[in-house]
Amino acid sequence: MKKIGLIIFCLLVSGAIQRAYAQEGQFSVGILPPILEINADPPAKIESIISVHNLNDNSRDLNIVFRSFRPSDQKNGQIEYLAENKIEGPDPLILQKIGIYEGERQVSKISLGPFETKELKMKISIEPGAPIGDYYFSIIFISQAESLGSFSQSILPGGIGTNVILSVGKKGETRGEIVKFSSPFFLGSGPVPFTLLLRNNSEHFIVPRGRIMIKNMFGKDAGKLEILPQYILSNSERYMRDTNQATSSAQTSQTLLWPEKFLLGIYTAKAFVKLSENGPNFETSLTFVALPLYIIFAISFFAFILLGIYLRVRKRL
């Protein structure tokens, strides 16, 4: 029994594993989908299509490499590759149960003609009684001119790949917490940046949902931010973004941004977070004060005038 889902929630990757371009147009290859989410109940035979596109008029020979990853310490969705052959998860042989097929033939390299597109099939075999757990790895198509020995643990230059999030068996209890919710206490004007850091203490990935509700000093609704659904891998932390920052240009942002520019008074912001469809749910709040600079200058100016008048009157008395 199996369930395979493709979703567009952002698991951000280092620049080399998105649509990749080497210097002087030497490497120009695209891939779909960029992310595969797979939930498998053992035993399972899983198949999924991966399309690789040569985007220029040069033929291309590509090696196929598997590499496990974990979230980077930046906590913004970027990933860090583990050493070759290192696996995180209960089954150290999991990558040996995964194959890439061109037609009916298992392959470890492919050739692409000018502007050619090839549809490959990824097959995963999960045996009965397979241990429950998550596995995170990339299927990377890399130029044969590149040397595996030259790769760092965070970037694979000259390559492009699909990130796979594989969850085997029934998920256990979802656990987590709001680690940090903050904003500047005093502001002269908007927009207002909020920092929301969530931690996933579960043994499986989660995709939290939620919102930030903002009220003014009269208790009236002043604004709302929807939290962008994003992967948080097992036992890791991630800064959240809002749905207005779903574009690639905002990929490394670590804040949610309320775009309101004119602000005046005391505001209360409350964050509501749901870690999964079945919970748990969390909420927390903060207060910030907004007073435009021109109002501060005006108040200071009139206060100075009043003080001068007071001193003159007092002197005459």
In this prediction, residue 150 carries a pLDDT of: 46
User: What pLDDT, on the 0 to 100 scale, is given for residue 219?
Assistant: 94
pLDDT score at 86? 86
Q: What pLDDT was estimated at residue 312?
A: 72
Query: Please, which pLDDT band fits residue 21 given cuts at 50, 70 and 90?
Result: very low
- pLDDT, mean over the chain: 84
Considering the domain 2-168, what is its CATH architecture? Sandwich (2.60)
- Nearest residue to 81 via CA among 93, 91, 70, 95: 70
**Is pLDDT above 50 for 17?**
no
Task: Please determine, looking at this structure, whether the domain spanning 176-295 carries the CATH number 3.40.50.720.
Answer: no
Is the pTM for the entire model greater than 0.85? no
Residue range 51-61: average pLDDT?
A: 92
Same fold, 2-168 and 176-295: yes
Residues of the chain by 3-state class (helix, strand, coil), percent to 5: 15, 45, 40
Residue spans of the domains in the chain: they are 2-168, 176-295
Residue 316 has pLDDT above 60, yes or no: yes
Higher pLDDT, 26 or 72: 72
> Can you tell me the distance from the alpha carbon of 185 to that of 197, in angstroms, rounded to the nearest whole number?
18
DSSP symbols for 81-139: EPPTT---SS-TTGGGGEEEEETTEE-SEEEE-TT-EEEEEEEEEE-TTPPPEEEEEEE
Residue 295 dihedral angles phi and psi, to the nearest 5°: -70, -40
Query: In this predicted model, what pLDDT tens digit does every residue of 247-294 receive, in sequence order?
Result: 655 556 789 999 998 888 999 999 999 999 999 999 999 999 998 756
pLDDT average, residue stretch 70-82: 91
CA angle 166, 169, 172 (to 5 degrees): 100
Q: How far apart are CA 76 and CA 144, in angstroms?
A: 31
Q: Which residue has the higher pLDDT, 250 or 169?
A: 169
In the chain, the percentage of residues whose pLDDT exceeds 90 is 65
Q: Which of 276, 91, 75 is nearest to 171 (CA)?
A: 276
